[in-house]
């Protein structure tokens, strides 16, 4: 090959003992570690630090956080870690996001937050129980959720709201109600180097 010196050699040093090589790799479940299961079917997904969270599309009251990600491994789930978000009459979850180390889960007219470090790979420990931020304002379009420096903006049935980083809700849609109450957001983004968030409506 171009750049190679004729008759050059390369040395490879094998630092693994013959006994270790014969034994093979240690099974990842050694030490009572929970086995890796596939996640349920899902349309909602968010990344929170070293975990991935999804909402079960066949039972949208179920939130599935993954096991902690470790370099060199895949993302693993286990049904012992799933969290059911109930306690209201608003049905299943409609949107999902993560902010400041917390999971934010919306229903059509409710907002919940889940905090805490979560369980380890053996299933010991847990997240904090879901706490209701609001039982009157929710999200009607998962595609409307936008992360901003101030918090998360989203479309509710009442218009555009901001869930700030202190978990307070502020209505921001008074000047654009003619649009936000007439259609559903199909895309939204924070415009870089500006103070603008742009929403795209169907139709």
- Higher pLDDT, residue 117 or 8: 117
Q: What is the mean pLDDT of the segment spanning 128-149?
A: 96
pTM assigned to the model: 0.81
Say if residues 161 and 173 touch (Cβ distance below 8 Å).
Answer: yes
Residue 87, φ and ψ in degrees, nearest 5 = 95, 5
pLDDT at 20: 60
Residue 178, φ and ψ in degrees, nearest 5 = -60, -25
Q: What is the mean pLDDT of the segment spanning 170-188?
A: 84
- Is the pLDDT at 29 greater than 60? The verdict is no
For residue 48, how many other CB atoms are within 10 A of its CB? Answer: 20
pLDDT at 72: 78
- Higher pLDDT, residue 108 or 194: 108
Read off the pLDDT band of 90 (50, 70, 90).
Answer: confident
Label each residue of 48-113 as H, E or C: ECCEEEEEECCCCCEEEECCCCCCCCCCCECHHHCEECCCCCCCCEEEEEEECCEEEEEECCEEEE
pLDDT at 43: 97
pLDDT at 178: 78
- Is the pLDDT at 131 greater than 70? The verdict is yes
- Is the pLDDT at 136 greater than 90? The verdict is yes
């Amino acid at each position: 090959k171009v750049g190679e010196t004729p008759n050059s050699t390369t040395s490879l040093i094998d630092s693994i003992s013959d006994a270790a090589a014969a034994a093979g790799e240690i099974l990842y479940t050694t030490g009572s570690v929970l086995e890796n299961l596939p996640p349920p079917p899902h349309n909602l997904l968010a990344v929170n630090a070293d975990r991935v969270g999804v909402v079960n599309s066949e039972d949208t009251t179920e939130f599935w956080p993954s096991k902690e990600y470790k370099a060199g491994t895949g993302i693993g789930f286990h049904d012992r870690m799933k969290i059911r978000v109930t306690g209201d009459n608003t049905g299943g979850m409609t949107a999902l996001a993560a902010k400041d180390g917390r999971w934010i889960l919306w229903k059509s007219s409710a907002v919940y937050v889940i905090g805490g470090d979560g369980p380890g790979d053996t299933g010991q420990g847990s997240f904090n129980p879901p706490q209701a931020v609001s039982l009157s304002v929710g999200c009607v379009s998962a595609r409307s959720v936008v992360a901003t420096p101030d918090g998360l903006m989203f479309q509710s049935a009442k218009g555009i709201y901001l869930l700030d980083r202190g978990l307070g809700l502020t209505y921001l849609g008074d000047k654009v109600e003619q649009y936000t109450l007439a259609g559903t957001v199909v895309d939204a983004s924070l415009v870089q180097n500006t103070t603008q968030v742009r929403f795209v409506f169907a139709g």
